[in-house]
Chain A
Amino acid sequence: MDAFLLQILNGLDKGSAYALIALGLTLIFGTLGVVNFAHGALFMIGAFCAVTLQRLLNLSFETIDPSQKDFLGNPLKVKTPYIESWFGPDLGGAIIDWSVPLAILFAIPIMIAIGFVMERGLIKHFYKRPHADQILVTFGLAIVLQEVVKYFYGANPIQTPAPDALNGIANLGAIIGMDIVYPVWRIVYFCFSVLIIAAIFAFLQFTTFGMVVRAGMADRETVGLLGINIDRRFTIMFGIAAAVAGLAGVMYTPINPPNYHMGMDFLVLSFVVVVVGGMGSLPGAVLAGFLLGVLESFASTTWATTTLPGINQIIIYVVAIVVLLTRPRGLMGLKGVMED
């Protein structure tokens, strides 16, 4: 039973990342009608915002300590972060320790700016072009972005730990008298995702801006005829989608250390999620994200893999095929979106 609950938690946790990425992807599909293959790269850039902030906070000056030797036998250069010398070791240390949560503030403006630049500088020119062209150009962009990151940060994963206070495990089952321990940061990640998803839905549901965007998603031309500048709003939506992907990346770093190709790892999967959810459907993306996350977790159990060898590697695709064959437009897809 507790094993079952643990896998549910794992699934929800995985699903959080899928849902956040897919949400952004489908927002861009829905609003701009653009297939954005660079969306995984945005997730990756978000993660590297956290890495960058960690590096910035750790910027150090060197003092030579003659009592210790480095690997070549020279006196060891001891590094002290500026932050620690400015704020004292306690506060400075705490700031460094909390670099990942702090990176949220750091990442939001950066990701929105990247989103704006991408949309205005590149994507804008591809609204009228075939989807194949959009795929190619955004795929090219994704390669460029990831190679640039690789150039500066290398190919190996970079450890970006969560704050010590959030690094341990919590006994979730204590309330119901069971022993279900789960990493605190993963719980944080799940709650964070739910919060972001709720915020996006609330934003679209309850603000005038959101209403216009939703109307635009349904029928761009009509809204345009009303004299509303829908393009500017869509640009902002692109920025928001980029920020969502970026935040998903920032918060993901303590779960698994980021590397430059993590975006590509998630890209194919998040496309499957979006399509299973149904093109252009925001609730569909979220639903499919969590659903596939949970199914993937259960397929990874020993029970599943001994019954059907290899099921853990193909479950996502099996589900995708079954869903698409039984529900032509995914779980909650709209008719006529991306069918030509």
Chain B
Amino acid sequence: MSKSEVSRRRVLKSGAAGTAGLALPTIFTASSAAAFTNEPTGGTVTLGFNVPQTGPYADEGADELRAYQLAVEHLNGGGDGGMLNTFSSKVLQGNGILGKKIEFVTGDTQTKSDAARASAKSMIEKDGAVMITGGSSSGVAIAVQGLCQEAGVIFMAGLTHSNDTTGKDKKANGFRHFFNGYMSGAALAPVLKNLYGTDRTAYHLTADYTWGWTQEESIAAATESLGWQTTNKVRTPLAATDFSSYIAPVLNSGADVLVLNHYGGNMVNSLTNAVQFGLRDKVVNGKNFEIVVPLYSRLMAKGAGANVKGIHGSTNWHWTLQDEGSKAFVRSFGTKYGFPPSQAAHTVYCQTLLYADAVARAGSFNPCAVVEALEGYEFDGLGNGPTLYRAEDHQCFKDVLVVRGKENPTSEFDLLEVVEVTPAAQVSYAPDHPMFAGGDLGACNSGA
């Protein structure tokens, strides 16, 4: 009996799909009955976690993956619920999303646009993922965001700090919770003014690719508006490992602040080299020489070791924050894995919750419905205070942390201390700000 059923179904299905396919080649989905790409039809919904698992950012990727698994556990009703308990929206019931149990697939971006897109495509084409999230660099985030826009799925960006992600490369289907270069500059500038005064001369070392440029542009603009001078902006190759030949000219340049617009291995090495050359103990024009690292990450600070002591930078989130959301997250993450989460882990955890919540509020997995639910959405309780997902560019506006390398760490995780929580209002900018201009959000694409 079951046999005949199978064969009948086969005939019907392939016949129907056949005619539909011939008449009008559809994009990504075959059955024109589906309302949007990868509409979940069974009792489960698949999310795609696309993180660097090989290459220099593999550790961050691994931390993101841990946070994703934790988020899935919480959303499916497992564990202690984490930030679900502190999240301002209460529509999530711990029964998956819209009653569908969450399943996930993982992939390796290799921190290369090509590989990241290939991996995301396999999630969409093969595994039927309805949302892609992750990444630990802006190039990859922008590449995958573009793909998701074309394919008609939602992209919830992971760690991406370039202005372009929600600037000139913004896409309707893409959303960023993480802060950006402009915000780093705007948050840091007042703190730097208080600490170092307004009569300062800055020397920039910048990683020579898009993120570095937007970071440099942002921080230079912010500090110059304080009255600081900029003596030099030097681009360093991404592949550089030894920065001595870039650090040495700083010594006699007359500058008294060195800004390192570097991330990852670049930042670890350039900071190590700068300290090696005695810059931290140097006195120029009667002022102590200072080093600033606009984008800090605890994982990278660990790589730089004692060199980070007393050096300022900004970060999206830090595990020492004492609000209820952060505490709940650190508790459930720490209990499960034995160490506190990184900011990358935090942002992707939030993104997963925010996506699930948006679907639940919209009552549909349809990307366009999700976009509508997220646009202009205000929420709280996810560790960054009251936050707005701005409709114009899909960027989250929230408080930004200014942190400093701790002088006397009590543990291997206790490397940074929060100096200042810059309120969201101070880091906000107009959607058409020149640093973000040139992009077009376009219309949401559901793939239908």
Contacts and interface: CB of A to CB of B under 8 A. Distances in A.
Touch between chains A and B, by CB atoms below 8 Å = yes
Interface of A: 2-3, 6-7, 9-11, 13-14, 68, 70-72, 76, 150, 154-159, 161, 167-169, 181-183, 185-186, 255-257, 259, 261-262, 265, 296-298, 300-302, 305, 312-313
A185 B276 contact: yes
Contacts of A70: 411
Candidate in B56, B59, B245 with the most chain A CB atoms within 10 angstroms? B245
Residue of B239, B307, B410 ringed by the most chain A CB atoms within 10 A: B410
A2 B248 CA distance: 10
A124 B210 CA distance: 46
Contact of B58 (A150, A159, A182, A255): A150
Nearest to B237: A313
Contacts of A183: 276-278
B401 interface: no
B225 interface: no
B406 to A, nearest CB: 13
Contact of B305 (A2, A257, A265): A257
A155 B410 contact: no
A181 B55 CA distance: 35
A70 B412 CA distance: 11
14 contacts: A71-B320, A150-B58, A155-B58, A156-B59, A159-B302, A159-B305, A161-B306, A182-B277, A256-B268, A257-B303, A297-B244, A302-B249, A305-B234, A312-B236
Given A2-B252, A155-B59, A156-B303, A72 B331 contact: yes
Contact of A159 (B62, B306, B319, B411): B306
Given A169-B278, A255-B276, A10 B244 contact: yes
A181 B277 contact: yes
A120 B306 CA distance: 42
A313 B55 CA distance: 21
Given A71-B319, A169-B278, A265-B241, A6 B248 contact: yes
A266 B234 CA distance: 23
A97 to B, nearest CB: 12
B55 A72 contact: no
Contacts of A156: 59, 268, 299-300, 302-303
Given A76-B411, A168-B278, A305-B235, A157 B268 contact: yes
Contact of B241 (A72, A262, A301, A302): A262
A150 B446 CA distance: 40
With a 10 A CB-CB cut-off, give which of A10, A71, A159, A255 has the most chain B CB atoms: A71
B254 to A, nearest CB: 12
B363 to A, nearest CB: 37
Interface size on B, as a range, is: 35 or more
B264 to A, nearest CB: 9
User: Is chain A's binding surface mostly helix, strand, loop or mixed?
Assistant: mixed
A299 to B, nearest CB: 8
A68 B414 CA distance: 13
Contacts of B245: 7, 10-11, 14, 296-298, 300-301
Interface string B200-221: 0000000010000000000000
Interface string B281-325: 000000000000000000110111111000000000001100000
B311 to A, nearest CB: 14
A157 B303 contact: yes
Task: Select the residue from A11, A14, A150, A312 with max chain B CB neighbours within 10 A.
Answer: A312
Contacts of A157: 265, 268-269, 303-304
A296 B240 CA distance: 11
Task: Choose among B251, B276, B319, B413 the residue with the greatest number of A CB atoms under 10 Å from its CB.
Answer: B276
A3 B300 CA distance: 30
Most buried by A among B265, B269, B414: B265
B248 A10 contact: yes
Contacts of A72: 330-331, 334-335
Contacts of B411: 70-71, 76
B251 A256 contact: no
A261 B413 contact: no
Contacts of B305: 159, 161, 257
B304 A257 contact: yes
Contacts of B244: 10, 13-14, 186, 297
B232 interface: yes
Interface in B43-98: 54-59, 62
Nearest to A77: B411
A330 B307 CA distance: 41
A155 B234 contact: no
B54 to A, nearest CB: 8
Contacts of A181: 251, 277-278
B378 interface: no
B196 interface: no
3 closest A-B pairs by beta carbon, nearest first, are A159-B305, A155-B58, A157-B303
Interface in B158-198: none
A71 B307 contact: no
A183 B59 CA distance: 30
A17 to B, nearest CB: 8
A301 B272 contact: no
A255 B242 contact: yes
Contacts of B234: 302, 305
Contacts of B236: 300, 312
Interface in B262-276: 265, 268-269, 272-273, 276
B340 interface: yes
B59 to A, nearest CB: 4
Given A156-B59, A257-B272, A300 B246 contact: yes
A231 B307 CA distance: 48
Contacts of B237: 312-313
A186 B235 CA distance: 23
Interface in B341-362: none
A255 B271 CA distance: 11
Contacts of B303: 156-159, 257, 259
Nearest to B307: A159
B18 to A, nearest CB: 45
Contacts of B57: 155
Nearest to A162: B276
Contacts of B241: 256, 262, 265
Contacts of B330: 71-72
Contacts of B251: 6, 181
Contacts of A68: 410
B276 A186 contact: yes
B239 A259 contact: no
B13 to A, nearest CB: 44
